[in-house]
Amino acid sequence: MKTKKQQFGEQPPRYRFVLNPYPDTRLSRCPCCEQKTGQRKIPLLIHIGPMHLIALNYTCRYCQPCDLLIAHKDEIEHLLTELFRQYDPEAVGNDYLIIGTVKKATWREGLQRPKALAEMLPYATDFADYEELRVTRPGWYKAGQKPPVMEPPPSRKWVKA
């Protein structure tokens, strides 16, 4: 028996999503198909513990053939830190999760008048797939030996003061 994956938004899932946790690595090519990526500015729906839900208009790298969005963790954390230093300094450094996207028109309306969660859900779209990028350590290795995976560095911006 197949179980249905629980969905947050009411729109059907869209986009595969990759979060790049390495601040010194930028992707201009898709990690799946190796084609050049473009850019897509899209409102990302982010939950910040314990009770904040925001739509952050962010420019992601985008691979159209793979329908893949790539976001850079350090850039998102910088924007979140700047926003929450003014709005709610206690929330800086809390756990967060990038849930999906929101329709652009809904995001624009939210700039004029903040929306409650119940108003956002009909326009929210979950990601079809969510992964965090992992990079292997460069260098020479024996035949058959797998290169070790580099651990991402800890956050420098999104930390408790």
CB-CB contact of 47 with 100 (8 Å): no
pTM above 0.95, yes or no: no
d(CA 98, CA 84): 16
State CA 20 to chain mean position distance.
Answer: 8
Each residue's pLDDT, cut to its tens digit, for the chain (161 residues) gives: 454 567 777 788 889 999 999 999 998 999 999 999 999 999 999 999 888 888 999 999 999 999 999 999 999 999 999 999 988 899 999 999 999 999 998 888 888 887 777 788 888 999 999 999 999 888 888 999 999 999 999 998 898 87
Q: Which of 21, 17, 136 is nearest to 72 (CA)?
A: 21
Would you state the structure tokens that stand for residue 80, as one six-digit string? 């979140």
**Token couple for 132:** 């965090």
Counting beta carbons within 10 angstroms of the beta carbon of residue 114, is it exposed (0 to 12), middle (13 to 18) or buried (19 or more)?
exposed
Of 57, 83, 72, nearest to 27 by C-alpha is 72
